[in-house]
Amino acid sequence: MWQSVAVATMADLDQLALAMPQTVREEAGGRPRYLVHGKLYCCHRGRRPDAVDPDTGERMDDVLMFRVADVGVKELLLADDRGVFFTTPHFDGYPAVLMRIGDLARIDREELADTIAEAWLTRAQKRVARAWLEQQAPAEE
């Protein structure tokens, strides 16, 4: 039987990020930024000179940033054959990956949820992160 998989959207990003404990949503230039304990873990970036559309040469207006645990995780995401995640020289050596908003349609809601949760875990206080992880563990029978 054919089963459709819901692609991810910006509405999903907002809902999933706000579902993470102690997340605060701020607006910067009309673009969402998600913080936990005052620390940014995901955002819709403004136009930057480091992110240029390879087809048009214009600064990209549709770039999302997600924190990752470390540069090793970043490298794994960047090596994904789908090419969903990318980086720029501005982020060299920094534990974060970028994604164009249009590429949300290339991942499903579950993968977006995992990406957001991983980003949140990099910035949440240890005790809050530990409590959340314990809630996510399957119940033992």
The model's pTM: 0.88
With 80 as the cut, is the pLDDT of residue 138 above it?
no
Do the domain assignments include residue 1? no
What percent of the chain clears pLDDT 70, i.e. is strictly above it? 94
Calculate mean pLDDT across residues 73-91: 93
Higher pLDDT, 18 or 45: 18
Residue 68 domain flag: yes
Q: Is residue 83 part of a domain?
A: yes
Number of independent structural domains in the chain: 1
What is the Rg, in whole angstroms, of the alpha carbon atoms belonging to the chain?
16
Indicate whether 4 belongs to any domain.
no
Owning domain of residue 18 = 10-129
The pLDDT of residue 4 is above 70: no
Establish if 3 belongs to a structural domain.
no
What CATH number does residue 19 fall under? 3.90.1150.30
At 44-68, the pLDDT tens digits run: 988 787 777 777 878 878 899 999 9
In-domain check, residue 134: no
In a domain, 123, yes or no: yes
In a domain, 141, yes or no: no
